[in-house]
Amino acid sequence: MGEQHDPKRKIAFVGDSITANGDWDAWFPDAESTNFAVPGYTSDDVLAQIDDIVAAQPEEILMLVGTNDLGMRRSVEHLVRNIEVALVHLRRELPGVRLLLQSIMPRTAEFAPAIQGANIHLRQFCSTVRAHYLDLWPSMATEEGALRSELTDDGLHLSPTGYEVWLDELLPAVERLRDLPPMSRPIQAIRLSEPS
């Protein structure tokens, strides 16, 4: 038996500047990374690019979005609904894809109640679409609910140390995601209508 050269797994990274600024090719050298994240993106922007993500036919999708919605004073309900619709669409169009939704990261403490409220809803929804959920709050937030000062220079974006702490959580989560059994059965129970 000769050496097997498995094709690189295809990962799509979805989100805003926090993800856009990641060095994913270096951090996931075993994967073919496509970074769909764009600075300033909101959940509306992610919904608008769903067809492009599907067209890339990724095997894994890592999504982190929502903080810019709150920065623009959009409601928790608005961003949660958009993320839920996006996840439903991805699961329907890519039934075998492995989905990892990451909790919205803390930022300045004034945002903590809204972020934590959104994260509770998102965590509960993930099982509906057989998505994995990664809770980043314990490793990144202060007791007051702010992003720890050593992880950021501006209370929102990550410093190099911030990326290290994120990766310490993200890499094991992706390993767990890959250890799950294949997800191939179609979804029957979801009746989320897309916004008109």
CATH number of domain containing 151: 3.40.50.1110
Instruction: Show the domain range for 175.
Output: 9-179
Ordered mean pLDDT values, 10 residues apiece, the chain (196 residues) = 68 98 94 97 98 97 98 97 98 96 97 97 96 97 97 96 96 89 51 48
CA distance 84 to 158: 25
- Residues 6+ positions from 115 with CB-CB distance below 8 Å: 66, 67, 70, 104, 105, 106, 107, 145
- Determine, yes or no, domain membership for 189: no
Q: How many domains does the chain have?
A: 1
- Determine, yes or no, domain membership for 195: no
- Determine, yes or no, domain membership for 161: yes
- Determine, yes or no, domain membership for 50: yes
- Determine, yes or no, domain membership for 187: no
- Determine, yes or no, domain membership for 196: no
- Determine, yes or no, domain membership for 192: no
- Residues 6+ positions from 147 with CB-CB distance below 8 Å: 105, 106, 107, 108, 140, 141, 155, 156, 162
pLDDT of the residue at 188: 45
